[in-house]
Chain A
Protein backbone atom coordinates (compact mmCIF):
# COMPACT_ATOMS: atom_id res chain seq x y z
CA UNK A 1 0.00 0.00 0.00
CA UNK A 2 1.57 3.29 -1.00
CA UNK A 3 1.33 6.05 1.59
CA UNK A 4 3.30 8.72 -0.27
CA UNK A 5 1.26 11.12 -2.39
CA UNK A 6 1.12 10.51 -6.16
CA UNK A 7 -0.14 12.95 -8.78
CA UNK A 8 -3.70 11.69 -8.51
CA UNK A 9 -3.88 10.67 -4.88
CA UNK A 10 -2.85 12.72 -1.90
CA UNK A 11 -1.49 10.94 1.17
CA UNK A 12 -4.65 9.38 2.64
CA UNK A 13 -6.14 10.41 5.97
CA UNK A 14 -7.74 7.96 8.45
CA UNK A 15 -10.94 7.58 6.42
CA UNK A 16 -9.01 7.27 3.18
CA UNK A 17 -6.83 4.57 4.70
CA UNK A 18 -9.94 2.64 5.80
CA UNK A 19 -11.44 2.88 2.29
CA UNK A 20 -8.16 1.78 0.71
CA UNK A 21 -7.98 -1.17 3.10
CA UNK A 22 -11.53 -2.21 2.17
CA UNK A 23 -10.90 -1.86 -1.57
CA UNK A 24 -7.64 -3.69 -1.11
CA UNK A 25 -9.46 -6.67 0.38
CA UNK A 26 -11.94 -6.59 -2.51
CA UNK A 27 -8.98 -6.40 -4.92
CA UNK A 28 -7.24 -9.40 -3.34
CA UNK A 29 -10.50 -11.38 -3.53
CA UNK A 30 -10.94 -10.46 -7.21
CA UNK A 31 -7.39 -11.39 -8.19
CA UNK A 32 -7.39 -14.62 -6.15
CA UNK A 33 -10.83 -15.43 -7.55
CA UNK A 34 -9.56 -15.02 -11.10
CA UNK A 35 -6.57 -17.29 -10.47
CA UNK A 36 -8.75 -19.92 -8.75
CA UNK A 37 -11.25 -19.80 -11.64
CA UNK A 38 -8.51 -20.44 -14.20
CA UNK A 39 -7.03 -23.27 -12.11
CA UNK A 40 -10.44 -24.91 -11.58
CA UNK A 41 -11.20 -24.71 -15.31
CA UNK A 42 -7.82 -26.24 -16.11
CA UNK A 43 -8.32 -28.99 -13.52
CA UNK A 44 -11.75 -29.83 -14.92
CA UNK A 45 -10.19 -30.35 -18.33
CA UNK A 46 -7.54 -32.57 -16.74
CA UNK A 47 -4.73 -30.15 -17.59
CA UNK A 48 -3.26 -30.07 -14.08
CA UNK A 49 -2.45 -33.79 -14.11
CA UNK A 50 1.06 -34.24 -12.74
CA UNK A 51 2.54 -36.22 -15.60
CA UNK A 52 1.66 -33.53 -18.17
CA UNK A 53 3.70 -30.94 -16.31
CA UNK A 54 6.49 -33.30 -15.22
CA UNK A 55 7.01 -34.41 -18.81
CA UNK A 56 7.45 -30.76 -19.78
CA UNK A 57 10.14 -30.02 -17.19
CA UNK A 58 11.92 -33.30 -16.46
CA UNK A 59 15.54 -34.01 -17.36
CA UNK A 60 14.71 -35.52 -20.73
CA UNK A 61 12.65 -32.49 -21.74
CA UNK A 62 15.50 -30.15 -20.88
CA UNK A 63 18.16 -32.30 -22.45
CA UNK A 64 16.42 -33.11 -25.72
CA UNK A 65 14.26 -30.06 -26.34
CA UNK A 66 14.51 -27.02 -24.07
CA UNK A 67 18.29 -26.70 -23.85
CA UNK A 68 18.98 -27.25 -27.58
CA UNK A 69 16.17 -24.80 -28.37
CA UNK A 70 17.49 -22.26 -25.89
CA UNK A 71 20.95 -22.67 -27.36
CA UNK A 72 19.77 -21.77 -30.87
CA UNK A 73 17.65 -18.89 -29.57
CA UNK A 74 20.58 -17.45 -27.64
CA UNK A 75 23.04 -18.12 -30.47
CA UNK A 76 20.90 -16.32 -33.04
CA UNK A 77 20.24 -13.51 -30.57
CA UNK A 78 23.91 -13.09 -29.61
CA UNK A 79 25.09 -12.94 -33.23
CA UNK A 80 22.27 -10.52 -34.06
CA UNK A 81 23.22 -8.27 -31.15
CA UNK A 82 26.81 -8.03 -32.42
CA UNK A 83 25.87 -7.46 -36.06
CA UNK A 84 23.11 -4.97 -35.15
CA UNK A 85 25.65 -2.98 -33.17
CA UNK A 86 27.99 -2.77 -36.16
CA UNK A 87 25.12 -1.89 -38.49
CA UNK A 88 23.71 0.62 -36.02
CA UNK A 89 27.05 2.36 -35.40
CA UNK A 90 27.75 2.61 -39.13
CA UNK A 91 24.34 4.04 -39.96
CA UNK A 92 24.32 6.22 -36.85
CA UNK A 93 27.51 7.87 -38.13
CA UNK A 94 26.14 8.17 -41.65
CA UNK A 95 23.05 9.92 -40.31
CA UNK A 96 25.32 12.47 -38.63
CA UNK A 97 27.58 12.85 -41.68
CA UNK A 98 28.46 16.38 -42.82
CA UNK A 99 27.06 15.77 -46.33
CA UNK A 100 23.31 16.08 -46.70
CA UNK A 101 23.16 13.42 -49.46
CA UNK A 102 24.66 10.75 -47.20
CA UNK A 103 22.48 11.83 -44.28
CA UNK A 104 19.33 11.61 -46.37
CA UNK A 105 20.28 8.31 -47.98
CA UNK A 106 21.02 6.73 -44.60
CA UNK A 107 17.81 8.18 -43.12
CA UNK A 108 15.66 6.74 -45.90
CA UNK A 109 17.19 3.28 -45.47
CA UNK A 110 16.79 3.38 -41.69
CA UNK A 111 13.20 4.62 -41.82
CA UNK A 112 12.30 2.01 -44.44
CA UNK A 113 13.78 -0.84 -42.40
CA UNK A 114 11.94 0.32 -39.30
CA UNK A 115 8.59 0.55 -41.07
CA UNK A 116 8.66 -2.99 -42.50
CA UNK A 117 7.57 -5.74 -40.07
CA UNK A 118 10.44 -8.03 -39.06
CA UNK A 119 8.39 -11.07 -40.04
CA UNK A 120 7.92 -9.75 -43.59
CA UNK A 121 11.68 -9.24 -43.88
CA UNK A 122 12.37 -12.70 -42.49
CA UNK A 123 9.95 -14.38 -44.91
CA UNK A 124 11.53 -12.56 -47.84
CA UNK A 125 15.09 -13.33 -46.72
CA UNK A 126 14.21 -16.97 -46.10
CA UNK A 127 12.74 -17.41 -49.57
CA UNK A 128 15.61 -15.52 -51.18
CA UNK A 129 18.26 -17.53 -49.30
CA UNK A 130 16.53 -20.80 -50.12
CA UNK A 131 16.64 -19.73 -53.77
CA UNK A 132 20.35 -18.91 -53.48
CA UNK A 133 21.08 -22.30 -51.93
CA UNK A 134 19.12 -24.05 -54.71
CA UNK A 135 20.88 -22.25 -57.54
CA UNK A 136 24.43 -21.78 -56.22
CA UNK A 137 24.69 -24.06 -53.20
CA UNK A 138 26.63 -21.34 -51.37
CA UNK A 139 24.71 -22.12 -48.17
CA UNK A 140 23.05 -25.32 -47.03
CA UNK A 141 19.30 -25.28 -47.61
CA UNK A 142 18.53 -26.17 -43.98
CA UNK A 143 20.54 -23.17 -42.78
CA UNK A 144 18.50 -20.58 -44.67
CA UNK A 145 15.95 -20.00 -41.85
CA UNK A 146 18.84 -19.43 -39.41
CA UNK A 147 20.52 -16.83 -41.62
CA UNK A 148 17.19 -15.23 -42.47
CA UNK A 149 16.47 -14.75 -38.74
CA UNK A 150 19.90 -13.23 -38.07
CA UNK A 151 19.85 -10.88 -41.08
CA UNK A 152 16.24 -9.86 -40.43
CA UNK A 153 16.95 -9.09 -36.77
CA UNK A 154 20.13 -7.21 -37.74
CA UNK A 155 18.46 -4.98 -40.32
CA UNK A 156 15.60 -4.04 -38.02
CA UNK A 157 17.43 -3.69 -34.71
CA UNK A 158 20.47 -2.13 -36.38
CA UNK A 159 18.22 0.65 -37.67
CA UNK A 160 16.73 1.12 -34.22
CA UNK A 161 20.26 1.38 -32.75
CA UNK A 162 21.26 3.85 -35.50
CA UNK A 163 18.31 5.99 -34.46
CA UNK A 164 19.27 5.61 -30.77
CA UNK A 165 22.79 6.86 -31.54
CA UNK A 166 21.55 9.78 -33.61
CA UNK A 167 19.04 10.89 -31.00
CA UNK A 168 21.63 10.24 -28.28
CA UNK A 169 24.10 12.61 -29.94
CA UNK A 170 21.37 15.19 -30.57
CA UNK A 171 20.30 14.88 -26.95
CA UNK A 172 23.71 15.85 -25.56
CA UNK A 173 24.03 19.39 -24.20
CA UNK A 174 25.29 21.85 -26.82
CA UNK A 175 28.25 22.72 -24.60
CA UNK A 176 29.92 19.36 -25.31
CA UNK A 177 30.24 20.12 -29.02
CA UNK A 178 31.18 23.73 -28.39
CA UNK A 179 33.88 22.73 -25.92
CA UNK A 180 35.28 20.24 -28.43
CA UNK A 181 35.48 22.84 -31.16
CA UNK A 182 36.89 25.40 -28.70
CA UNK A 183 39.92 23.18 -28.07
CA UNK A 184 40.42 22.88 -31.83
CA UNK A 185 38.77 19.55 -32.68
CA UNK A 186 37.25 19.13 -36.11
CA UNK A 187 33.57 18.13 -36.42
CA UNK A 188 34.55 14.50 -37.02
CA UNK A 189 36.97 14.39 -34.10
CA UNK A 190 34.32 15.88 -31.86
CA UNK A 191 31.78 13.27 -32.98
CA UNK A 192 34.20 10.38 -32.67
CA UNK A 193 35.96 11.31 -29.43
CA UNK A 194 33.42 13.35 -27.48
CA UNK A 195 29.82 12.98 -28.62
CA UNK A 196 29.30 9.39 -29.82
CA UNK A 197 31.08 7.80 -26.79
CA UNK A 198 28.78 9.73 -24.46
CA UNK A 199 25.77 8.89 -26.61
CA UNK A 200 26.70 5.19 -26.41
CA UNK A 201 27.03 5.34 -22.63
CA UNK A 202 23.72 7.13 -22.45
CA UNK A 203 22.02 4.55 -24.63
CA UNK A 204 23.45 1.46 -22.89
CA UNK A 205 20.22 0.84 -20.93
CA UNK A 206 18.10 1.26 -24.09
CA UNK A 207 20.52 -1.03 -25.86
CA UNK A 208 20.02 -3.73 -23.23
CA UNK A 209 16.26 -3.46 -23.58
CA UNK A 210 16.83 -3.78 -27.33
CA UNK A 211 18.44 -7.17 -26.56
CA UNK A 212 15.16 -8.19 -24.93
CA UNK A 213 13.41 -7.27 -28.19
CA UNK A 214 15.95 -9.27 -30.20
CA UNK A 215 15.39 -12.35 -28.02
CA UNK A 216 11.62 -11.98 -28.31
CA UNK A 217 11.71 -11.41 -32.06
CA UNK A 218 13.97 -14.43 -32.58
CA UNK A 219 10.84 -16.46 -31.81
CA UNK A 220 9.44 -15.18 -35.13
CA UNK A 221 11.88 -17.64 -36.68
CA UNK A 222 9.33 -20.31 -35.68
CA UNK A 223 7.18 -19.11 -38.56
CA UNK A 224 9.89 -19.69 -41.16
CA UNK A 225 10.98 -23.04 -39.75
CA UNK A 226 13.96 -21.97 -37.64
CA UNK A 227 14.59 -24.48 -34.87
CA UNK A 228 14.62 -22.32 -31.76
CA UNK A 229 13.08 -22.64 -28.30
CA UNK A 230 9.46 -22.27 -29.43
CA UNK A 231 9.85 -24.78 -32.28
CA UNK A 232 11.53 -27.32 -29.97
CA UNK A 233 8.92 -26.93 -27.25
CA UNK A 234 6.18 -27.43 -29.82
CA UNK A 235 7.84 -30.68 -30.82
CA UNK A 236 8.08 -31.68 -27.17
CA UNK A 237 4.39 -30.88 -26.75
CA UNK A 238 3.24 -32.85 -29.77
CA UNK A 239 5.42 -35.81 -28.79
CA UNK A 240 4.19 -36.00 -25.20
CA UNK A 241 0.63 -34.75 -25.76
CA UNK A 242 1.18 -31.82 -23.41
CA UNK A 243 1.32 -28.92 -25.86
CA UNK A 244 -0.07 -26.33 -23.45
CA UNK A 245 2.32 -27.30 -20.68
CA UNK A 246 5.38 -27.43 -22.96
CA UNK A 247 4.58 -24.02 -24.45
CA UNK A 248 3.99 -22.50 -21.02
CA UNK A 249 7.40 -23.79 -19.88
CA UNK A 250 9.04 -22.27 -22.97
CA UNK A 251 7.25 -18.97 -22.29
CA UNK A 252 8.52 -19.06 -18.69
CA UNK A 253 12.09 -19.51 -19.93
CA UNK A 254 11.69 -16.44 -22.16
CA UNK A 255 10.13 -14.46 -19.28
CA UNK A 256 12.91 -15.27 -16.81
CA UNK A 257 15.62 -14.48 -19.37
CA UNK A 258 14.06 -11.16 -20.37
CA UNK A 259 13.21 -10.12 -16.82
CA UNK A 260 16.84 -10.55 -15.78
CA UNK A 261 17.99 -8.45 -18.76
CA UNK A 262 15.41 -5.76 -17.95
CA UNK A 263 16.57 -5.61 -14.33
CA UNK A 264 20.22 -5.29 -15.43
CA UNK A 265 19.19 -2.48 -17.83
CA UNK A 266 17.43 -0.62 -15.02
CA UNK A 267 20.41 -1.04 -12.67
CA UNK A 268 22.79 0.16 -15.38
CA UNK A 269 20.65 3.22 -16.08
CA UNK A 270 21.19 4.35 -12.50
CA UNK A 271 24.90 3.57 -12.49
CA UNK A 272 25.89 5.12 -15.80
CA UNK A 273 24.18 8.46 -15.31
CA UNK A 274 27.36 9.99 -13.83
CA UNK A 275 29.50 9.04 -16.82
CA UNK A 276 27.74 10.97 -19.52
CA UNK A 277 26.11 14.33 -20.00
CA UNK A 278 23.23 12.66 -21.80
CA UNK A 279 20.13 11.17 -20.19
CA UNK A 280 20.42 7.46 -19.36
CA UNK A 281 16.86 6.96 -18.16
CA UNK A 282 15.00 4.22 -19.98
CA UNK A 283 12.30 5.66 -22.14
CA UNK A 284 8.94 4.65 -20.73
CA UNK A 285 7.73 3.65 -24.19
CA UNK A 286 7.07 0.10 -25.33
CA UNK A 287 10.20 -1.67 -24.17
CA UNK A 288 9.17 -4.84 -25.90
CA UNK A 289 8.10 -3.54 -29.22
CA UNK A 290 9.31 -1.43 -32.01
CA UNK A 291 8.98 2.22 -31.14
CA UNK A 292 9.96 4.23 -34.18
CA UNK A 293 10.30 7.95 -33.57
CA UNK A 294 9.14 8.78 -37.06
Chain B
Protein backbone atom coordinates (compact mmCIF):
# COMPACT_ATOMS: atom_id res chain seq x y z
CA UNK B 1 0.00 0.00 0.00
CA UNK B 2 3.06 2.22 0.44
CA UNK B 3 3.37 2.88 -3.29
CA UNK B 4 -0.26 3.97 -3.41
CA UNK B 5 0.34 6.55 -0.70
CA UNK B 6 3.59 7.74 -2.28
CA UNK B 7 1.87 8.08 -5.66
CA UNK B 8 -1.01 10.14 -4.30
CA UNK B 9 -0.46 12.88 -1.78
CA UNK B 10 -3.29 11.97 0.60
CA UNK B 11 -1.77 13.91 3.48
CA UNK B 12 -1.45 16.97 1.26
CA UNK B 13 -5.12 16.66 0.31
CA UNK B 14 -6.11 16.40 3.97
CA UNK B 15 -3.93 19.44 4.67
CA UNK B 16 -5.96 21.31 2.03
CA UNK B 17 -9.18 20.40 3.87
CA UNK B 18 -7.68 21.62 7.12
CA UNK B 19 -6.62 24.91 5.52
CA UNK B 20 -10.11 25.37 4.07
CA UNK B 21 -11.66 24.58 7.46
CA UNK B 22 -9.46 26.93 9.48
CA UNK B 23 -9.81 29.89 7.10
CA UNK B 24 -13.56 29.36 6.67
CA UNK B 25 -13.94 28.99 10.44
CA UNK B 26 -12.37 32.43 10.93
CA UNK B 27 -14.38 33.93 8.07
CA UNK B 28 -17.69 32.44 9.15
CA UNK B 29 -17.08 33.46 12.77
CA UNK B 30 -16.54 37.09 11.78
CA UNK B 31 -19.58 37.22 9.46
CA UNK B 32 -21.67 35.19 11.92
CA UNK B 33 -20.78 37.50 14.81
CA UNK B 34 -21.85 40.56 12.79
CA UNK B 35 -25.11 38.82 11.85
CA UNK B 36 -25.74 37.80 15.45
CA UNK B 37 -25.15 41.38 16.62
CA UNK B 38 -27.69 42.51 14.00
CA UNK B 39 -30.23 39.95 15.17
CA UNK B 40 -29.96 40.73 18.88
CA UNK B 41 -29.82 44.51 18.45
CA UNK B 42 -33.02 46.50 19.09
CA UNK B 43 -32.77 47.96 15.57
CA UNK B 44 -35.59 46.59 13.43
CA UNK B 45 -34.00 46.94 10.01
CA UNK B 46 -30.80 45.14 11.06
CA UNK B 47 -32.82 42.42 12.79
CA UNK B 48 -34.75 41.79 9.58
CA UNK B 49 -31.56 41.76 7.51
CA UNK B 50 -29.95 39.21 9.84
CA UNK B 51 -33.04 37.02 9.90
CA UNK B 52 -33.41 37.15 6.11
CA UNK B 53 -29.75 36.22 5.56
CA UNK B 54 -29.92 33.29 7.98
CA UNK B 55 -33.19 31.93 6.61
CA UNK B 56 -32.13 32.18 2.98
CA UNK B 57 -28.61 30.79 3.36
CA UNK B 58 -29.56 28.04 5.81
CA UNK B 59 -32.12 26.66 3.36
CA UNK B 60 -29.79 26.63 0.35
CA UNK B 61 -27.63 23.56 -0.32
CA UNK B 62 -23.92 24.32 0.12
CA UNK B 63 -23.25 22.61 -3.22
CA UNK B 64 -25.43 25.12 -5.05
CA UNK B 65 -23.71 28.05 -3.29
CA UNK B 66 -20.35 26.65 -4.38
CA UNK B 67 -21.55 26.15 -7.98
CA UNK B 68 -23.08 29.65 -8.10
CA UNK B 69 -19.72 30.97 -6.90
CA UNK B 70 -17.65 29.16 -9.49
CA UNK B 71 -19.94 28.94 -12.53
CA UNK B 72 -21.99 32.08 -11.86
CA UNK B 73 -19.81 34.66 -10.18
CA UNK B 74 -16.40 33.57 -11.47
CA UNK B 75 -17.17 32.19 -14.91
CA UNK B 76 -20.11 34.38 -15.92
CA UNK B 77 -19.49 37.61 -13.99
CA UNK B 78 -15.71 37.17 -14.26
CA UNK B 79 -14.99 38.24 -10.71
CA UNK B 80 -11.36 37.29 -9.99
CA UNK B 81 -10.41 36.86 -6.34
CA UNK B 82 -6.79 36.19 -7.23
CA UNK B 83 -4.74 36.21 -10.43
CA UNK B 84 -3.40 32.75 -9.58
CA UNK B 85 -5.74 30.17 -11.14
CA UNK B 86 -5.69 27.56 -8.35
CA UNK B 87 -5.54 30.09 -5.53
CA UNK B 88 -8.57 31.88 -7.02
CA UNK B 89 -10.66 28.69 -6.68
CA UNK B 90 -9.31 28.13 -3.19
CA UNK B 91 -10.47 31.62 -2.20
CA UNK B 92 -13.87 30.99 -3.78
CA UNK B 93 -14.22 27.79 -1.74
CA UNK B 94 -13.25 29.60 1.47
CA UNK B 95 -15.68 32.44 0.69
CA UNK B 96 -18.60 30.07 -0.03
CA UNK B 97 -17.89 27.95 3.05
CA UNK B 98 -17.68 31.13 5.18
CA UNK B 99 -20.91 32.63 3.83
CA UNK B 100 -22.78 29.35 4.32
CA UNK B 101 -21.58 28.52 7.82
CA UNK B 102 -21.92 32.15 8.99
CA UNK B 103 -25.68 31.56 9.25
CA UNK B 104 -25.08 28.65 11.64
CA UNK B 105 -22.50 30.60 13.65
CA UNK B 106 -25.04 33.42 13.96
CA UNK B 107 -27.69 31.04 15.29
CA UNK B 108 -25.16 29.42 17.66
CA UNK B 109 -24.23 32.78 19.19
CA UNK B 110 -27.86 33.84 19.38
CA UNK B 111 -28.83 30.61 21.12
CA UNK B 112 -25.98 31.24 23.57
CA UNK B 113 -27.42 34.66 24.37
CA UNK B 114 -30.85 33.09 24.77
CA UNK B 115 -29.56 30.71 27.47
CA UNK B 116 -29.04 33.72 29.77
CA UNK B 117 -32.16 34.21 31.92
CA UNK B 118 -33.76 37.66 31.85
CA UNK B 119 -33.29 37.85 35.63
CA UNK B 120 -29.51 38.13 35.14
CA UNK B 121 -29.95 41.32 33.13
CA UNK B 122 -32.49 42.66 35.59
CA UNK B 123 -30.17 41.93 38.51
CA UNK B 124 -27.28 43.66 36.71
CA UNK B 125 -29.42 46.75 36.12
CA UNK B 126 -30.73 46.63 39.69
CA UNK B 127 -27.21 46.93 41.13
CA UNK B 128 -26.68 49.93 38.87
CA UNK B 129 -24.45 48.50 36.13
CA UNK B 130 -24.64 50.59 32.95
CA UNK B 131 -25.24 48.84 29.61
CA UNK B 132 -21.61 48.17 28.68
CA UNK B 133 -20.71 46.83 32.12
CA UNK B 134 -23.80 44.62 32.25
CA UNK B 135 -22.97 43.22 28.83
CA UNK B 136 -19.24 42.81 29.52
CA UNK B 137 -19.39 41.43 33.06
CA UNK B 138 -22.70 39.60 33.29
CA UNK B 139 -24.40 38.70 30.03
CA UNK B 140 -21.68 37.97 27.45
CA UNK B 141 -19.53 35.68 29.65
CA UNK B 142 -22.57 33.48 30.26
CA UNK B 143 -23.72 33.74 26.65
CA UNK B 144 -20.34 32.64 25.27
CA UNK B 145 -20.33 29.61 27.55
CA UNK B 146 -23.78 28.65 26.34
CA UNK B 147 -22.63 28.97 22.72
CA UNK B 148 -19.70 26.52 23.05
CA UNK B 149 -21.67 23.39 22.12
CA UNK B 150 -23.48 24.77 19.04
CA UNK B 151 -20.27 26.47 17.86
CA UNK B 152 -18.38 23.18 18.23
CA UNK B 153 -21.09 21.40 16.24
CA UNK B 154 -20.83 24.03 13.53
CA UNK B 155 -17.04 23.54 13.39
CA UNK B 156 -17.54 19.78 12.99
CA UNK B 157 -20.06 20.36 10.20
CA UNK B 158 -17.65 22.80 8.55
CA UNK B 159 -14.79 20.28 8.70
CA UNK B 160 -16.91 17.70 6.92
CA UNK B 161 -18.38 20.22 4.49
CA UNK B 162 -14.90 21.30 3.40
CA UNK B 163 -15.11 18.28 1.06
CA UNK B 164 -17.78 20.15 -0.93
CA UNK B 165 -14.92 22.40 -2.15
CA UNK B 166 -14.59 19.64 -4.75
CA UNK B 167 -17.37 21.55 -6.55
CA UNK B 168 -14.91 24.44 -6.91
CA UNK B 169 -12.26 21.98 -8.19
CA UNK B 170 -10.02 22.50 -5.17
CA UNK B 171 -7.55 19.62 -4.76
CA UNK B 172 -9.04 18.34 -1.53
CA UNK B 173 -9.44 14.82 -0.24
CA UNK B 174 -12.81 13.71 -1.68
CA UNK B 175 -11.68 14.61 -5.19
CA UNK B 176 -8.37 12.83 -4.66
CA UNK B 177 -10.23 9.80 -3.33
CA UNK B 178 -12.33 9.72 -6.51
CA UNK B 179 -9.20 9.78 -8.71
CA UNK B 180 -7.46 7.12 -6.61
CA UNK B 181 -10.47 4.82 -6.79
CA UNK B 182 -10.75 5.22 -10.54
CA UNK B 183 -7.12 4.14 -11.05
CA UNK B 184 -6.96 1.49 -8.33
CA UNK B 185 -10.45 -0.06 -8.06
CA UNK B 186 -8.84 -3.20 -6.57
CA UNK B 187 -8.04 -1.40 -3.29
CA UNK B 188 -11.03 0.91 -3.16
CA UNK B 189 -12.25 -0.23 0.26
CA UNK B 190 -8.78 0.40 1.66
CA UNK B 191 -8.75 3.91 0.16
CA UNK B 192 -12.17 4.66 1.62
CA UNK B 193 -11.10 3.42 5.05
CA UNK B 194 -8.03 5.67 5.07
CA UNK B 195 -10.04 8.76 4.16
CA UNK B 196 -12.87 7.88 6.57
CA UNK B 197 -10.42 7.23 9.41
CA UNK B 198 -8.71 10.53 8.63
CA UNK B 199 -12.00 12.33 9.14
CA UNK B 200 -12.70 10.39 12.33
CA UNK B 201 -9.29 11.50 13.61
CA UNK B 202 -10.11 15.15 12.92
CA UNK B 203 -13.81 15.22 13.85
CA UNK B 204 -13.99 13.06 16.97
CA UNK B 205 -11.34 15.04 18.93
CA UNK B 206 -13.18 18.29 18.09
CA UNK B 207 -16.36 16.69 19.47
CA UNK B 208 -14.61 15.52 22.64
CA UNK B 209 -13.03 18.96 23.15
CA UNK B 210 -16.42 20.64 22.68
CA UNK B 211 -18.11 18.39 25.23
CA UNK B 212 -15.21 18.83 27.68
CA UNK B 213 -15.20 22.60 27.25
CA UNK B 214 -18.95 22.99 27.56
CA UNK B 215 -19.03 20.78 30.68
CA UNK B 216 -16.14 22.69 32.19
CA UNK B 217 -17.57 26.09 31.36
CA UNK B 218 -21.19 25.18 32.10
CA UNK B 219 -22.93 27.88 34.12
CA UNK B 220 -24.45 26.38 37.25
CA UNK B 221 -28.02 27.64 37.48
Contacts and interface: CB of A to CB of B under 8 A. Distances in A.
B43 A27 contact: yes
A124 B61 contact: no
A254 B60 contact: yes
Contacts of B25: none
A10 B188 CA distance: 60
Contacts of A285: 104, 107-108, 111, 149-150, 153-154
B106 to A, nearest CB: 10
B91 interface: no
B163 A244 contact: no
Given A254-B60, A255-B59, A123 B177 contact: yes
B72 A222 contact: no
B47 A292 contact: no
Interface in A242-294: 243-244, 247-248, 250-251, 254-255, 257-259, 262, 284-294
Interface stretch (A80-88, A91-99, A112-120, A178-186): A112-120
Contacts of B135: 8
Interface stretch (A59-67, A138-146, A197-205, A211-219): A211-219
B174 interface: yes
Nearest to A134: B185
A247 B120 contact: no
A288 B68 contact: no
Contacts of B58: 258, 287-288
B118 interface: yes
Contacts of A219: 61-64
Interface in A21-50: 23-24, 27-28, 31, 42, 45, 47
Contact of A128 (B75, B167, B188): B188
Interface in A201-238: 212, 215-220, 222-223, 230, 234, 237
Contact of B199 (A7, A12, A117, A127): A117
Contacts of A250: 64
B149 to A, nearest CB: 8
* Interface residues of chain A: helix, strand, loop or mixed (majority): helix
Interface string A1-15: 110011111101000
Contacts of A127: 178, 181-182, 185, 188
Interface string B114-138: 1011101100010000010011000
Interface string B170-203: 0001100110011001001100100110011001
B63 A251 contact: no
Contact of A120 (B167, B199, B208): B199
10 contacts: A5-B121, A8-B135, A31-B45, A31-B46, A116-B160, A120-B173, A222-B167, A244-B73, A288-B104, A289-B101
Give 7 closest A-B pairs by Cβ, nearest first. Answer: A294-B207, A284-B111, A289-B157, A27-B45, A258-B59, A219-B61, A244-B72
Given A117-B160, A131-B185, A259-B59, 20 more contacts: A8-B113, A10-B121, A10-B125, A12-B42, A45-B78, A47-B77, A116-B200, A119-B174, A123-B177, A127-B178, A212-B59, A237-B71, A243-B72, A243-B76, A254-B64, A255-B59, A286-B157, A287-B58, A292-B203, A293-B153
